[in-house]
């Protein structure tokens, strides 16, 4: 299958995390992996801690991590090697392009092993080191993610905290940060104090440049992102896709309900974004606050199918209709767009969402599915079928390594615009089979 | 009660009805308080290069930006540059002049940001002492401007010598010196600054400032406390640009069958002459003998067919597709005039902002094409086979053309534009491959009724040409003393130094730009 976006990766890249425990390495690894996959770069995370938990079923205490614990050292080394082997397999057998090697990698020795392996196999290496000495941040990290770790499942928070602090001490003595002189030929980014400062050395290529840009834009300040579609539109009522119609009476009601809801949330400094289409702007207008219009948030362009009903699409373009059902993510409407195009178009929106704090995005069904897939790490084959009904606000709040989702239906009836994948996607199917899952409309 | 909405006729952007005469922002508004970018570094570290390039980029994405080069103010005040003695730290007289020049420049910065609609001012000077930088920080704080420092640190003697050769030796300061003399004097000039140079200190003194240190021409960067969207974009841009010599080739697809019929847009294939052009293009590319040429096309058939003739791998970018003419797709101009007479007139009224119904505007194109520009900056030799409107957008970026000029830049079929970065700008060579084609260029109509005065909201994605320097008239009245005549007339130079014209001054360069493109 052709890619609709330029391919920039030639050699596979191994991103190597570096840093003491509780410095946000796994947080960064997961987030980065999610972002790269969303923009279409096959990426996978390899967390050495998980390999260790597989090898040593029960974690007793921090003594496992003592530098003089020879038996444990052997196991840990073996785990790292196993993970690296899987990295190679991911590249050669699974068409992976980026592997994120998530471990402390705090010694020059360990990093040298990785560099040498990469050199042998022709992989590029990019280090991401997280440096932080603020005891408050570290304590907060431990509380947020470590106390819920399988290692501490039978311990209370204070015990877990105490043990973990000792664990960190085990690493400190042998920690050798990336050295600006000795390591000047390496490609890396050092992140200081959760993003207050960065040191970037020898960015080799496009993907490393994108990674650096992403890492410099993310932050950990608590905030919430609200996603909603426009209120029900005139065309929605008629079961027609696309177009630029205004709100139906129920849609206007929703706009008012949305305003009430937002007020009740008592959000500080809320930014409101809409598309350039009338229905999202009308929806935002009732909020009575300033909003910004993004053309990038416009609904997917249905090309020749704009403003048709599904029945009309089946009548006029039955083959196209079937092809779409076969691969809804990659399918591009004639003279229109695909979901894949949408993701590409939305990337600057995601980047800015990462920079911002509290934001309400008033958008459209396909667009909202793309944004949601980013936040909830949904793969391409699920993305076009995510449920984003009208008159429902999704509140996303980052926690730990993921995102909490709260769904608020604002109690204003609306048509259903969600079309499931029908059973028969063959181009020879009959009309009834094609229209099997079309939702009701006027 | 929600406000009534109207779609403004030119941009097709929905705005509250009473606002419909204002030109709406084409993009979200991110920059809030104006920003002063302060360059820091010894002479010949690329500060002016970065200032100009950054300014060009920011203006192209619609953020009104202007460079204030203190050296220019100094050349105004001190008509004749004699030698590096002027820059000696113990030359009290000169120190005073230089201080006045900095203040005069800051006064102009304030006026630009407060009264002239400017969003970003680039303060281009050495700014190598903490004292000078503290003064600027105080200035920023008094006026509620954000301050962002860009420091260039480089100790590679080859790089420095090369910089001096490229831009200093031909500077008006050295008009009457030979190259060796100029080089020697300039090195001594640098020494004058070295003793008092206090680099930005991220660990202690300057840890609360927002800045980027560019080390060894981009090998390494130290980024401290990015405050907002625009600083983040500036950092990303600076990290993607490079100074390796390379060439960018821009051309359109070969003549298409739709071109022959005078139809807009569409996705037709090449005409026979278009195929001839593609073959000629293949020969041309071979003759250029480039190593590692990347070829980019759009996802439209005519662009890809053209590339196919080259017999080399190429990348398809949807972002390079021609401007979407919406409801007017595949119509001839006459058909558009007949079916949508009002739209036809509106387009001529304001071609940059005009959005085709259910289509795009040049303003939309600039946003769409920005990732292509960013990647072009990263790359080396590239051939971009695209379309008329897209090519105009890209060209406007490289040649610093405003929104007003962009839609009328001449980008004829079967002609390759070869762009080579040189000094502070871009050399352009226009090469016709001698295959006949229709002319698709429509000039700006004579009697165009200009719309009612439209206010340009800040950050409305309206490319501006980087503004001319403020130095037009003598500013003796701002200084305590009359300009210093330091030398007998035989060595004196009365010329204004305006670096924006430097590329033209370099001997032996082709410059077809102004004449052939507008």
Measured between CA atoms, how close is B206 to chain A, in angstroms? Answer: 12
> Using a CB-CB distance cutoff of 8 angstroms, which residues of chain A are in contact with residue B225?
196-197
Tell me the shortest Cα–Cα distance from B354 to chain A, in angstroms.
Answer: 15
What is the DSSP track for B372-407?
Answer: HHHHHHH-SSEEEEE-HHHHHHHHHHHHT--TTTGG
Phi, psi dihedrals of residue B202, rounded to the nearest 5°: -70, -20
Give the residue among A176, A185, A142 at the shortest CA–CA distance from A161. A142
C-alpha A4 chain-centroid distance:
20
Partner B contacted by A216 (CB < 8 A):
yes
Under the banding of pLDDT at 50, 70 and 90, the label for residue B43 is very high
Tokens representing B69 are 């080069």
Please tell me the predicted confidence (pLDDT) of residue B34.
95
Domain ranges of chain B: 35-240, 248-442
All residues of chain A having their beta carbon less than 8 Å from the beta carbon of residue B14 are: 276-278, 281, 293
- Supply the pLDDT for residue B494: 23
Residue B502 CA, distance from chain mean position: 15
Position A155 scores a pLDDT of 84
pLDDT confidence band for B389 (50 / 70 / 90): very high
Q: How far is A332 from chain B (nearest CA, A)?
A: 12
Q: How confident is the model at residue B506 (pLDDT cuts 50, 70, 90)?
A: very low
Is the CB of A285 less than 8 angstroms away from the CB of B3?
Answer: yes
Structure tokens at A79: 């785990």
Summarize the confidence of residues B180-192 as an average pLDDT.
91
- Would you say residue B507 has pLDDT above 50? no
With the C-alpha atoms ordered B451, B457, B461, B466, is the resulting torsion angle positive or negative? positive
Cβ separation of B28 and A198 shorter than 8 Å?
A: no
Confidence of residue B512 (pLDDT cuts 50, 70, 90): very low
B14 to chain A, any CB pair closer than 8 A? The answer is yes
| B141-173 confidence digits (pLDDT tens) | 999 999 999 999 999 999 999 888 888 888 888
Distance, in Å, from the CA atom of B159 to the CA atom of B170, rounded to the nearest integer, reads: 17
Q: How far apart are the first and last CA of chain B?
A: 49
B318 contact A CB<8A = yes
Partners of A134 on chain B (C-beta within 8 Å) are: none
Q: Does A245 touch chain B (CB under 8 A)?
A: no
Nearest to A200 among B3, B7, B223 (CB): B223
Whole-number Å distance between alpha carbons of A96 and B256: 39
**Equal fold, B35-240 vs B248-442:** yes
Counting beta carbons within 10 angstroms of the beta carbon of residue B186, is it exposed (0 to 12), middle (13 to 18) or buried (19 or more)? buried
Of B202, B232, B367, the CB nearest to A295: B367
Q: How confident is residue B496, by pLDDT bands cut at 50, 70 and 90?
A: very low
In this prediction, residue B28 has a pLDDT band, given cuts at 50, 70 and 90, of: confident
As assigned by CATH, the class of the B248-442 domain is alpha beta
Q: pLDDT, tens digit, for every residue of B424-459? A: 889 999 999 999 999 999 998 876 544 443 433 334
Tens of pLDDT, residue by residue over A382-433, are 999 999 999 999 999 998 888 999 999 999 999 999 999 999 999 999 999 9
Residue holding tokens 């007793």?
A60
Determine, for residues A341 and B26 on separate chains, whether the beta-carbon distance falls below 8 Å.
Answer: no
| From A206, A244, A296, residue closest to B375, measured CB to CB | A206
Interface of B with A in 207-226 (CB under 8 A): 219-226
Q: Do B30 and A352 touch (CB under 8 A)?
A: yes
Torsion of CA A248, A252, A257, A260, to 10 degrees: 160
Region B94-112 average pLDDT = 95
Tell which wins on pLDDT, A53 or B465: A53
The reply to whether residue A344 touches residue B318, judged by beta carbons under 8 angstroms, is yes
**What are the structure tokens assigned to B459, written together?**
């950050």
Catalytic residue among A299, A320, A340, A347: A299
Q: What is the mean pLDDT of residues B78-89?
A: 86
Low-confidence residues in chain A, pLDDT < 50: 1-4
Say yes or no for a CB contact (<8 Å) between A293 and B14. yes
Nearest to B232 among A4, A216, A306 (CB): A216
Q: Does B202 touch chain A (CB under 8 A)?
A: yes
CA distance readout (Å), B224 to A179, A209, A256, A344, B151: 19, 17, 43, 29, 12
The reported pLDDT for the residue numbered A5 is 53
Structure tokens, A271? 């930014």
Decide if A6 and B317 are in contact by the 8 Å CB cutoff: yes
Smallest CA–CA distance, residue B373 to chain A, in Å, is 13
Q: Which of A7, A216, A276 is nearest residue B13 as measured by Cβ atoms? A: A276
List A residues 118-147 in contact with B (Cβ-Cβ < 8 A): none
- How close B453 comes to chain A (CA, Å)? 23
Strand pairing class (B248-252; B382-386): parallel
Query: A185 to chain B: nearest residue by CA?
Result: B219
The lowest-confidence range among A1-5, B68-72, B377-381, B388-392 is A1-5
CA angle B263, B265, B271 (to 5 degrees): 60
Evaluate if residue B204 carries a pLDDT over 80: yes
Are residues A264 and A232 in contact, defined by beta-carbon separation less than 8 angstroms?
no
Catalytic positions of B are: 253, 322
Tell me if residue A230 is catalytic: yes
ipTM of the complex: 0.93
Q: Structure tokens of A242?
A: 């696309």
Query: Predicted confidence band at B320 (pLDDT cuts at 50, 70, 90)?
Result: very high
Predicted TM-score (pTM) of the model is: 0.90
Chain B environment of A188 (Cβ under 8 Å): none
Determine if residue B253 is labeled as part of a ligand binding site.
yes
* B243 three-state secondary structure: coil
Residue of B2, B317, B378 to mutate, testing the A interface (most A Cβ within 10 Å of its Cβ) = B2
For residue B267, the chain A residues in CB contact (below 8 A) are 335
Residue B372 confidence (pLDDT) above 50: yes
Q: How much is the pLDDT for A64?
A: 92
Distance linking the first and last C-alpha atoms of chain A: 38
> Chain A residue with minimal CA distance to B221?
A200
Average pLDDT value for chain B: 85
Query: Per CATH, is B35-240 categorized as 3.30.360.10?
Result: no
Binding residues of A for substrate: 229-236, 279
Answer yes or no: are the C-beta atoms of B297 and B315 closer than 8 Å.
Answer: yes
The minimum CA-CA distance between A428 and chain B, rounded to whole Å, is 28
B257 is in an annotated binding site: yes
Per-residue pLDDT at B470: 67
pLDDT for the residue numbered B30? 66
Question: CA A42 to CA B315: how far, in whole Å?
Answer: 19
Q: Does A186 touch chain B (CB under 8 A)?
A: no
Is any Cβ of chain A less than 8 angstroms from the Cβ of B330?
Answer: no
Question: Does A10 touch chain B if contact means CB atoms closer than 8 Å?
Answer: no
Contact criterion met (CB < 8 Å) for B239 and A200: yes
B255 is in an annotated binding site: yes
């Amino acid at each position: 299958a052709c890619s609709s976006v330029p391919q920039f990766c030639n050699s596979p890249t191994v991103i190597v995390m570096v840093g003491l425990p509780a410095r946000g390495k796994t947080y960064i690894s997961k987030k980065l992996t999610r972002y790269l996959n969303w923009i279409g770069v096959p990426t996978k995370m390899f967390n050495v801690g998980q390999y260790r938990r597989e090898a040593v079923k029960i974690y007793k205490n921090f003594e496992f991590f003592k530098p003089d614990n020879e038996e444990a050292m052997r196991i840990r080394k073996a785990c790292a090697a196993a993970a690296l082997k899987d990295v190679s397999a991911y590249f050669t057998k699974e068409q992976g392009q980026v592997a994120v090697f998530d471990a402390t990698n705090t010694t020059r020795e360990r990093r040298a092993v990785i560099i040498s392996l990469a050199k042998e196999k022709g992989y590029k290496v990019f280090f991401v080191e997280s440096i932080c000495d603020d005891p408050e941040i570290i304590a907060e990290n431990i509380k947020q993610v470590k106390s819920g770790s399988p290692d501490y499942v039978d311990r209370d928070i204070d015990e877990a905290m105490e043990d973990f602090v000792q664990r960190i001490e085990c690493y400190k003595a042998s920690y050798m940060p990336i050295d600006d002189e000795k390591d000047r030929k390496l490609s890396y980014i050092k992140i200081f104090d959760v993003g207050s400062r960065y040191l970037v050395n020898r960015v080799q290529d496009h993907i490393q440049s994108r990674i650096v840009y992403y890492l410099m834009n993310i932050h950990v300040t608590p905030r919430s992102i609200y996603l909603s579609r426009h209120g029900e539109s005139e065309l929605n009522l008629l079961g027609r896709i696309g177009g630029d119609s205004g709100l139906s009476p129920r849609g206007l009601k929703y706009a008012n309900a949305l305003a009430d809801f937002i007020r009740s949330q008592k959000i500080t400094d809320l930014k409101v974004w809409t598309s350039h289409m009338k229905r999202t702007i009308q929806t935002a207008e009732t909020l009575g606050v300033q909003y910004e219009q993004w053309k990038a948030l416009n609904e997917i362009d249905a090309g020749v199918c704009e403003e048709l009903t599904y029945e009309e699409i089946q009548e006029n373009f039955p083959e196209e209709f079937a092809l779409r059902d076969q691969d809804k993510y990659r399918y591009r409407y004639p003279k229109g767009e695909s979901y894949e195009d949408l993701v590409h178009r939305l990337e600057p929106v995601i980047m800015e969402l990462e920079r911002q704090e509290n934001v309400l995005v008033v958008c459209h069904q396909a667009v909202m599915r793309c944004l949601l897939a980013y936040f909830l790490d949904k793969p391409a084959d699920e993305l076009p079928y995510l449920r984003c009904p009208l008159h429902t606000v999704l509140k996303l709040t980052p926690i730990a390594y993921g995102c909490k989702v709260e769904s608020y239906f604002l109690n204003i009836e609306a048509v259903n615009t969600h079309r499931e994948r029908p059973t028969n996607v063959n181009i020879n199917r009959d009309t009834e089979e094609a229209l099997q899952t079309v939702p009701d409309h006027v | 009660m929600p406000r009534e909405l109207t779609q403004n006729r030119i941009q097709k952007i929905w705005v509250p009805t009473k606002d419909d005469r204002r030109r709406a922002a084409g993009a979200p508004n991110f920059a809030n308080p104006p920003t002063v970018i302060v360059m820091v570094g010894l002479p010949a570290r690329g500060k002016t290069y970065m200032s100009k390039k950054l300014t060009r980029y920011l203006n192209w994405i619609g953020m009104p930006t202007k460079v204030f080069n203190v050296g220019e103010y100094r050349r105004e005040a001190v008509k004749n540059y004699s030698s590096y003695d002027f820059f000696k730290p113990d030359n009290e007289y000169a120190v005073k002049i230089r201080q006045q020049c900095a203040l005069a420049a800051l006064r102009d910065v304030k006026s630009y940001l407060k009264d002239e609609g400017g969003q970003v001012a680039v303060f281009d000077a050495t700014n190598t002492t903490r004292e000078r930088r503290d003064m600027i920080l105080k200035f920023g704080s008094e006026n509620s401007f954000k301050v962002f420092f860009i420091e260039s640190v480089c100790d590679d003697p080859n790089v420095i010598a090369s910089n001096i050769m490229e831009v200093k030796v031909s500077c008006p300061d050295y008009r009457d010196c030979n190259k060796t003399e100029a080089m020697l004097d300039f090195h001594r000039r640098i020494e004058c600054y070295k003793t008092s140079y206090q680099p930005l200190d991220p660990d202690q003194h300057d840890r609360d400032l927002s800045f980027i240190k560019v080390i060894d021409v981009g090998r390494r960067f130290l980024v401290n406390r990015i405050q907002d969207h625009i600083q983040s974009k500036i950092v990303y841009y600076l990290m993607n640009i490079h100074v390796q010599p390379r060439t960018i080739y821009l051309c359109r697809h070969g003549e298409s069958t739709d071109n022959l019929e005078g139809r807009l847009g569409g996705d037709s294939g090449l005409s026979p002459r278009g195929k001839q052009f593609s073959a000629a293009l293949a020969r041309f590319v071979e003759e250029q003998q480039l190593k590692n040429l990347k070829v980019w096309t759009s996802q439209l058939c005519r662009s890809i067919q053209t590339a196919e003739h080259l017999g080399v791998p190429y990348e398809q970018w949807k972002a390079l597709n021609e401007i979407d003419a919406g409801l007017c797709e595949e119509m001839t101009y006459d058909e558009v005039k007949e079916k949508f007479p009002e739209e036809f007139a509106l387009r001529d009224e304001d071609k940059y902002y005009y959005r085709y119904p259910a289509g795009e505007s040049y303003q939309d194109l600039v946003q769409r094409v920005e990732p292509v520009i960013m990647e072009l900056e990263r790359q080396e030799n590239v051939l971009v086979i695209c379309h008329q409107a897209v090519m105009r957008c890209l060209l406007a970026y490289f040649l610093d053309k405003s929104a007003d000029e962009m839609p009328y830049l001449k980008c004829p079929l079967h002609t390759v534009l070869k762009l080579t970065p040189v000094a502070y700008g871009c050399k352009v060579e226009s090469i016709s491959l001698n295959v006949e084609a229709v002319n698709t260029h429509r000039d700006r109509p004579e009697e165009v009724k200009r719309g009612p005065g439209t206010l340009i909201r800040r950050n409305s994605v309206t490319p501006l040409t980087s503004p001319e320097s403020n130095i037009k008239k003598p500013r003796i009245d701002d200084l305590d003393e009359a300009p210093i005549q330091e030398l007998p007339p035989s060595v004196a130079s009365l010329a204004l130094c305006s670096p924006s014209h430097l590329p033209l001054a370099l001997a032996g360069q082709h410059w077809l730009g102004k004449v052939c493109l507008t």
